[in-house]
């Protein structure tokens, strides 16, 4: 096992894996970006956008914007209770 955080980048010979913070009930949850020669593939896990979350639970919106500017080939995303007002 390797300990990672939102600043970790791992190079797999042409594909770079990086991470970004997401809001989740589990602190320090991360999404994953696979930067491939064909484009970026982004996996969010389940999440919600909560701009009032404390830092260890907060989505890194600046990093998401950066990923978007680089272009996204595919977004793999899910969100539990997306229709809930909780």
> Which pLDDT tens digit goes with each residue over 27-69?
788 999 999 999 999 998 877 777 777 776 778 888 989 999 9
Asked if the structure places residue 24 within a domain, the reply is yes
Residue reference for tokens 């914007």: 65
| pLDDT given at position 26 | 79
Asked if the structure places residue 69 within a domain, the reply is yes
Asked if the structure places residue 4 within a domain, the reply is no
Based on the structure, what is the number of domains in the chain? Answer: 1
For 20, residues 6+ apart whose C-beta sits below 8 A from its C-beta are 6, 30, 31, 33, 59, 60, 63, 64, 67
Whether residue 85 has pLDDT greater than 80: no
Q: Which domain holds residue 51?
A: 9-78
Tokens representing residue 38 in the block: 């064909």
Asked if the structure places residue 84 within a domain, the reply is no
Q: Do the bridges between strand 9-11 and strand 16-21 make them parallel or antiparallel, or are there none, so unpaired?
A: antiparallel
Whether residue 72 has pLDDT greater than 80: yes
Asked if the structure places residue 72 within a domain, the reply is yes
């Amino acid at each position: 096992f390797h300990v990672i955080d939102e600043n970790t980048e791992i190079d797999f010979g042409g594909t770079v894996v990086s991470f970004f913070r997401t809001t989740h009930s589990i602190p320090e949850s991360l999404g994953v970006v696979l930067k491939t020669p064909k484009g970026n593939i982004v996996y969010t896990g389940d999440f919600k956008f909560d701009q009032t979350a404390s830092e260890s639970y907060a989505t890194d919106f600046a990093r998401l914007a950066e990923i978007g500017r680089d272009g996204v080939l595919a977004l793999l995303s899910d969100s539990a209770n997306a229709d809930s007002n909780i």
